Amino acid sequence: MNAIIVSAVFGVLMMFASFLVNNKNVYRYLAIIGLSVLLLANILETYAIWSIKFDSFLQLSFERFGLFFNSIAIAATLFYVLLSGKDIVRVGNYSAEYFVLIFFILCGVSLITSYNSLLMLFLGIEIISIPLYILTGSDKKNLKSNEAALKYFLMGAFSTGLMLMGIALSYGAVGNFGLEGRGVVAFGGSMRVSFLEVAGLLLLFISMSFKASAAPFHFWTPDVYEGAPSVFTSFMATIVKATVFIGMIKLLEARTGIFGPTWQIILPLMIVLTLAIGNITAVFQQSVKRMLAYSSIAQAGFMLFALWSANDMGREGILLYSVAYTLATVGIFAVLVKMKDYTFDGFNGLAAKQPLVAASVAVFVLSLAGIPLTAGFFAKYFMLASAIKSGAGVWLLVVAVVFAAVSVYYYFRLIQAMYFKEGEAEMFEQPTNSFKGMLAIFAVLLIVLGIAPSLLFNYLYF
């Protein structure tokens, strides 16, 4: 449990830094150091070299899959801070506290990747959610940010209520908080699952779908993502969302078959609905930020395939998907934060003024659209392949790829604006060389993973 403890400790350290040090740059460097140490600690645990151990009475179990995802999430956060650290510091007056909250969120992430009891899942989800409510409202002078925070908080609290009720029902049926559950047992002569357990898990699933913004529980997403300060939107739309999917996968794998044959109808319906709502609404957006909010719903639709297929390929796929989607989205947001105008037209002519930035954004967009030679292609590919491996109907795949083609429409508008249209893409400040360098590294990573995705999985197994 290195990641859980070290991230909490660094969170507290940052709190001390906030009143002992009065230099905003120091916070940023401290956070970078902290994240590097955290990453190192987690890698040490992954390879069983060194780890802090407490007896959690089987409520936490540390497996390769979860630990590896921790590394991905921590590394992504590190990249995120390296890229947008200056913008995080600038959001409001509480620069150090934002890093505190980010460290606490990582603590929640490492809980969700390693829970073995529903109690821990609940704690993890809450530790993620509460800092996010605050980060959403951190731009206190902005009315939209306030509204988004309140909306997110109210909706989130409601979904937490559902989750608690679900856990309570499951507890009632099983008698403990264990992840395994009871499964199919004899009830008065017939073999079936307990209705209480099914209802409980369904509520739990609904609540987690809410956090992952899968339709029809996505209504909060566009407003919250748009209202929140862009730096924090990029964090919660990527790392946090991917984590929730890992949590869902763990839950559904432990209790496979509990929903019975209806599951074959419910989940495909959710996938189609999520893809349709996310993609079609994104087409009509004029603001890039709002388009990215809807596109994050659409991408969640693809990630749901991993839940449906529930095989090794789906697990590998969700890891690749997290990496591809996170790198691309964080990169685009980092550029977006610097733009004066958030509409598509605001990007007009960026390629002429900032060739490297525009080229990187083009790679990110291509990756999100799933064009070959970028990691995004293999991310989508794994999702489709794992689904078909588990016997999905071809109609589902055809629907999915048609919506992927729809997504090309709005993603490419960004490329059109940057490269083919005349305009003065105005930025708040000229991007520094280190910023451009980081963007280029992101783009190169995406391309490398787009040629050889197996590089990533080598770390999963060896």
Residues in Cβ contact with 73 at an 8 Å cutoff, skipping those fewer than 6 apart: 106, 109, 110, 113, 239, 242, 243, 322
Work out which of 21, 24, 32, 56 binds another protein, going by CB under 8 A: 56
Tokens 């731009």 belong to 139
> Near another protein by CB under 8 A, which window of 23-31, 135-143, 273-281, 298-306?
135-143
Cis peptide before 216 (omega within 30 of 0): yes
Q: Are 76 and 102 in contact (CB under 8 A)?
A: no
Alpha helices in 113-229 (DSSP H): 118-136, 143-174, 195-212, 221-227
Work out which of 11, 66, 247, 349 binds another protein, going by CB under 8 A: 11
Q: Does 435 bind another protein (CB under 8 A)?
A: no
> What's the rounded Cα separation, in Å, for the pair 233 and 236?
5
> Near another protein by CB under 8 A, which window of 37-45, 229-237, 286-294, 447-455?
447-455
How many residues make up the chain in this entry? 462
Tell me which H or E stretch contains 191. Answer: strand 190-193
Q: Does 446 bind another protein (CB under 8 A)?
A: no
Q: Does 77 bind another protein (CB under 8 A)?
A: no
Q: Does 402 bind another protein (CB under 8 A)?
A: yes
> What's the rounded Cα separation, in Å, for the pair 17 and 137?
22
Distances (CA, A) of 10 to 6, 33, 76, 107, 238: 6, 10, 17, 10, 22
Tell me which H or E stretch contains 46. Answer: helix 24-46
Nearer to another protein, 3 or 82 (CB): 3
Q: How far is the CB of 182 from another protein (least distance, A)?
A: 10
> Near another protein by CB under 8 A, which window of 236-244, 327-335, 338-346, 393-401?
393-401
Q: Does 398 bind another protein (CB under 8 A)?
A: yes
Q: Does 29 bind another protein (CB under 8 A)?
A: no
Q: Does 127 bind another protein (CB under 8 A)?
A: yes
Q: Are 119 and 59 in contact (CB under 8 A)?
A: yes
Residue 327 token pair: 């790198």
> Near another protein by CB under 8 A, which window of 71-79, 235-243, 250-258, 371-379?
371-379
Q: Does 54 bind another protein (CB under 8 A)?
A: yes
Residue 275 token pair: 């893809």
Q: Which residues bind another protein (CB under 8 A)?
A: 4, 8, 11-12, 15, 54-57, 59-60, 92-94, 97, 100-101, 104, 107-108, 111, 119-120, 123, 126-127, 130-131, 133-134, 137-138, 140, 149, 169, 173, 187-188, 194-196, 199, 316, 366, 371-373, 381, 384-385, 388-389, 394, 397-398, 401-402, 404-405, 408-409, 412, 416, 419-421, 452-454, 457
